Amino acid sequence: MESRQSKLKKKLQKEEMDQKKRQAEEEENEKMKALQREKATKLEMRKKQEDEQRQKLYQHDKQMKTKEFLQRIERSSSSVSMAASNSIPASSWTKSHEYREARREEENADLLKKKEEQRRKAGILEEKQKQQEEDRKRWTEADHRRVNMAYLDRLEAGSSGRVSEPMTQTPESTNVWLDDDDDDDEPQDTALSTVPNPSQLHTDCEEEDDCGHMWTLMKLQNRFPYYERDMLEEIVKQCNGNYQQAYELLDV
């Protein structure tokens, strides 16, 4: 009875620890989200201020150019009046030239404004992509930490003498070759008349312990390509080459 109570107490403590871990992870995620929202708000305010300042500068520059254009028109009118008083006809080419120059300056100002707007949009897009990449990397690291913690918890429970659950038959344990690519992915030498099938290769490898471990490692790499090889090798050693046990530890 005391042994059962002790096991129950340990189980309750383990569940409480797991709940605290999950709660801590959720709190950390909420903090990260709040920080990202704050950054986005500050960035939006800064962009708005920059747009307002840029608009003011553009309006000021436009007013100055308009003023200069009017002054040139006035000077041209005064010169025409002086020429008329001296009985000298005004040149229409001069007027058209000044008008074209004024139009060219206005077009250049509009072109500069468009280029500045394009640079601003490109900067915003680049910063947004960079932020998304950082968020993706952060979430990936958090997910890897969660998987590693779950694996360590199971490994600790197994090493403490807990009776393992009965192994269930899975498609991965019965025929892992179904998940691999077709044999046509790699060229084969036509001089080889016979190639051993996967089941025969598996049977031959089980005759030696090292070969069995290597076979298990290869199957785990096919099923879990996103895990590091060193980590998979450690799991195979802990499970003594048992593919089913290693698969259950990783399939979280």
| In contact, 189 and 232? CB cutoff 8 Å | no
Q: Where are the domains of the chain?
A: 36-162, 197-252
* Cα angle for residues 111, 106, 59 (degrees, 5° grid): 85
Residue 146 has pLDDT above 80, yes or no: no
Report the sign of the C-alpha dihedral through residues 39, 41, 44, 45, in that order. negative
> For 42, what's the count of Cα atoms within 13 Å in the CB-facing half-sphere?
6
Least confident window among 23-37, 132-146, 175-189, 202-216: 175-189
Tell me how far apart the terminal alpha carbons of the chain are, to the nearest angstrom. Answer: 33
Quick one: what percent of the chain has pLDDT higher than 90? 15
Q: Can you tell me the mean pLDDT for 85-89?
A: 49
Q: Does the model's pTM come out above 0.75?
A: no
The chain-wide mean pLDDT, for the chain, equals: 75
Give dist(CA 245, CA 154) in Å, integer: 11
